[in-house]
Structure 1
Amino acid sequence: MIFTKSSDKKQAFINGWKQSKLVRLFLYLTLVLVFFFSVFQHLIVPNNNSGVADNEKESIQDTPVYVQHSIHSLDFLDRIFDKLEQINIDASLTDEVKTEIYSVYFSQEYDAFVEDNVKLLMESEESEDSFNVSLIQEIEKQYIDQQYTFPVEAFFKLPRLSQAEVIKMRPVAESIVSNLMKEQIEDASVIRGKVAEMVNASNLSDDDSRILVTEIVRYSIFPNYFYDAVATQDAMSATDTAETNYWQIVGLSILVILFTAFLYMYIRQSKLQLHNNNVQLLMLVFIFIINILGMKIVALGQSLDYPYLGFLAPVAMGSMLIAILLDYKLAFISSILFSLLASIIFNFENPDVLFDYRYGLVASVISFTSIFAVHKASQRSSILKAGIFIALVECLSIASIFLLTDENNITTFVLSMTFALMNGLLTAVFVIGILPFFEVSFGILSSVKLVELSNPNHPMLRKLLTETPGTYHHSVMVANLSEAAAESIGANGLLCRVGSFYHDVGKTKRPNYFIENQINSENPHDTIDPDLSKSIIIAHARDGVEMLKEHKMPKPICDIAEQHHGTTLLKYFYHKAKKQQELSGEFEEEIQESDFRYPGPKAQFKEAAIVGLCDCVEAAVRSLSNPTMDQINTMVDKIIKDRLEDQQLNECDLTLKEIDTIAKTLKETLLGIFHSRIEYPELPSRDNDKKGVTKDEATVSM
């Protein structure tokens, strides 16, 4: 007895966690922590080092501080081209004179340009009361030390350029210089190494023009990233004195709590099963973790060479999984959070702002698109099609961003488009791969899986159709009834439909012992003992479960097959056995009602209970030769009343209000199914009401 009580308590604990408020609170707190740590390094700017480990302090002290100062390279480039146009158009000058002018001009112009920029920098520093002599000296030194040596042979080629060639060369040079100077250039020779390839990719066809543009662009590349000795020393001095910025942590905490509260309030107000079902809530948390982890992994690869790598992140994966496994409206809400997180996690180029709208916009567009594409998906191939659709829509989104921001870097644009196309494929592959994990681990049947199981070509359904056509027809009728009944109370109608298809598959072992398959043949139960008949009938539920498990059918389908009869009594054979005992006069062993009951278990969830009710109702109404509306209503009410009195619905979470709704839906659906066979009462004629005459033709066709 002690062991039994202990087992009961253990089972109660296992079942209890699914509705436990404490577990639910823990899961929401987990979401808060997931949000917090996923964006912590992106939003919390370290302005201190207090509390930092000694080895970390040493690392900070050894790290030099650099500042970025961009020189106006395009102005310098324009001066060169202006000089080219001015000199080359002058017919009074020979090529030799022009060559000599250029050899002197390039060097003088570089020195003058550097001197002017250094003066401007000094004046700017003085006006801001932040004069940093060492930094200005370092900048000037690097400009001089890293001056490009213009090839002597190029000076001889410059005078040969026509006016048209110079005009064509200018925009190519400006575009390349503009793009390259956006990078952090500490060593200009590294950047200059990229020039030749970029020139070759331009529209210049003349060899001399390409060579000269390459040299002019290289000459116009200046360093813009400089070592700041003062700032480095200040950072080293501040290592042991700065304090933690707790206000940022408070701000981040408020932000992630708002995220979680937003999600919680929607779940609560929408009255989803998720609100009281911790299994589904746990799955939602897992989906958020997987999706955020995917974004974080992609973010690790972001660099100056691949700043738009964030477009590769399969952000829509989480939205698709939620739409397929949980609820498509919840997927829209989650997509908003995913988009905000993406705009934070991929904010690589704009450290001064919290969110990068580009990634947030693209993430929201592809997430919403994915939901529209898959929330009614009937096959896994639909997910792949959704991935293609996601890729196309993401390409359009990125194109709009590039056009609006006037971004003219073709290489970056092509890379971004490539990432978008790969994103669509990756998203589809990941969703198809992860979906079975959630279906198996959480015992959830997606609509995609259910629709696949409802295919008439499924081996078990073909077996049911060919070997037991009567049972197959009965199962289809039960499917229609149960789906309508389930949807009327917000239960899973598709699960009821598919469960109905398979609920009587066990009858294929002994098809002739079930009345719907006895076409033009005798009933074998008329000639055998009622106890044997009972064993054969009861066995079909157990046989069905075994067959379904052999075919590795999902647990909910197996549960419906096992639970649809509950522990109901086989009244016909029970009373037949009692009658035979009375006629024989042998009362040595009393016939027990429990011996003629199904072994159960009773229905443990709404869908199993609904299929059980519809199974009984369909068989009962089918037995009527010409059912009337009153007969159908009476039959439905009687069956439901019997099930309630027999306590068959006590272990599922159907409410009395829901049972009443199911009864009304069943009556309406049955009227639609049997409308051609129902006889309606004659209606009194309005013209002859006083005489009590009725009209023979006063029938209504439905």
Structure 2
Amino acid sequence: MNQNGASKQGSAKPAAKQGWRQSPAARWLLMVLFVLLFYFSLAPHVIPETYDISEGSISEKDIKAPFQIRDEKATRQAEEKAASQVEDIYNIVFLKNDALVEQILYRIEQLNMDDQVTKEDKIEIYRTEIPRRYVDYIDQFVKANKGDGTYNDTLLDEMASVAKEQQYTIPEETFYKMPQLTTEQLQEMRQVAREIVRKLTTEQLREADTARTQVAELVNASSISNRTAREIVQELARFAIMPNKFLDQEATEEARVLAKQNTTPVVFNEGDVIVKRGETITPDLYKLLSDSNLLQDKKHYWPQAGLLILSLMFVVVLYAYLQQSGGIGGHKPKYGNAQLLMLWLIFFINIIIIQITALTQTDTAQYAGYLVPAALGTMLITLLLDLHLAIISSFIFSIMGSVILNTASNQLFDFKFGFFIIVVSLASVFSIHRASQRSTILKAGIMVSLFGSLSVIAVLMLTEQLERMPFIYSVAFAFASGLLTAVLVIGLMPFFEVTFGILSALKLVELSNPNHPLLRKLLTETPGTYHHSVMVGNLSEAAAEAIGADGLLCRVGSFYHDIGKTKRPNYFIENQSNVENPHDTIDPKLSKSIIVAHASDGVEMLKAHNIPKQIRDIAEQHHGTTSLKYFYHKALKQAEEQGVEPAFTEDDFRYPGPKAQSKEAAVVGIADCVEAAVRSLRNPTVEQVEAMIHKIIKSRLDDNQYNECDLTLKELDKVAQSLKESVIGIFHSRIEYPDDVKTKERTN
């Protein structure tokens, strides 16, 4: 990463002589300038105009809504009207009335068979017990169903009340006839009565008498021939029939509440006239204007306070990032006040350009806003300062642009322009962060044009704004925006030449933080693997830089390449401290499955934590399709001892791959194997180290592990030389590798 002039000077002379460049007071003054820049840039667009009027006065001009304003009084009236139009809701309660008539007839049968009870006593029992059974049946039904969720309690109470009110009164003479019934008659009556009651209560009944009038006809059409039996069945069926449709007060109230909630609020949209010129300010109008902060005498400062908070939040985000990344503060800050001033100037220029673009918009040509070269700021920040700072800034530009360019929306932010700005800003960041010549800026501008056009097309299609000419103009302006951005960046770069510097992909620095959850997991759960990964990072970074590859990517990729081992840490030798090796007691094929799984397990864990694809690729590809020869020969030996022909080949003991697709993945794979191999040597010498490195590289080369990446033989020699120089000081204990083909493949 390029260091600015202030940083270089900071290493050459004491802080006391650095003047304003490292002065905390100057730094805080710059933070205040950022707040003022954000506040006054957005103020004309978010703070509404206020009016000096009083209740009962005459308005001298039309008062329009600066944003969508809700008329609370009219909305409440609309809600009450909607609720009043909701009709009462009736629900069905299935009482299973045929069970009641079954109980009564069964009771009659049992009592009539009892010779110890006189006829008079039976009549008296029927006269008192049968009406009580009706009430008891309802009470038991309510008790059984309350709280189970089938019916709400209010509905059950309503059912009990209405059903009891409509209880049928059995004629007195019917009770005198009941003792005459025989068992055969009662059995016939039971079947008929149940069918009649079941049939009549399947319909919705709010009044039981409606169904009771049909009982006589159905009884006469039944198979009962005895007159007395028919009369009793008729009365008992009428008695058992109850209403089954009841007012559900709770559901009705819920429907009315829902109707209120679904009522469309009465609003004044942006630009609608609230008060016409010459209109008297009524109490209701005055309250509406007051609640909307449109009156001067009320001294409402909420919009100003909200804008100030938003501006402070922008500055806090920028300051927090700069401090956490070491950009400011500390003993050796990355950026001095000169760089903060440059950042302020970039923001100022970008916001001014957005403001100028907003002036070209009209109600009929809002698409002119897509011409804004909003990616200018993020390109300059990426080239001159920091990639991550540019990403953060792109979100701030997006929010501010969605406010400044908002002309027709009834909301504070216009998502169309906000989305467009964030897309072109991010496209510029990722297109320009490796720029090494000015032509790359033009290429980045073309990428901004393409992504900006695609974002506009997507938004217009999603919102179905497909009128031909506005659609063409919107896409054309978005495309022109990228080219204009590139021209402005090329033109402004000489102005910032004294602090110009191209940075590497610093996102990798963030991922290399030991406090990352995955790295902390690696350290706490598999300390041996963690130490191994750190050493591999040191080796691979130096080797990658020797051949012009991305050394930082190799280092960070090494940190994560064995993260999959955290799923089964004890199966990897570097994590086995004073414990037996579990591989000594399990089948070699199972050992192989456990070992090779760590690559795919690691990829899944990295995906779950949104680790970039380049690092996931290293974790997946660092073993390629190499063979676990140790377990292969162990399996061969077992088959030989058992006297059976091996049902497997060496290919069954290989990693699934894929092979290394990039130089970085190949270098990490070599460094991984070298680190493990060298630490297995008891008393390594320079000759042993050199021989081991060449042996590993040659083995992988002969195994065609580098066929899918662009490593050359010359580069492999440079890698070998770099690794030899880096590993001389490594003397950690490892399992000794057998010679030749019985070399045990390290489980890393």
Q: Per residue, is there more helix in 1 or in 2?
A: 1
TM class, shorter-chain normalised? 0.3 to 0.5
Q: RCO greater where, 1 or 2, for CA within 8 Å and sep 6 or more?
A: 2
TM-score by length of 2: 0.36
TM-score by length of 1: 0.38
Higher-Rg member (1/2): 2
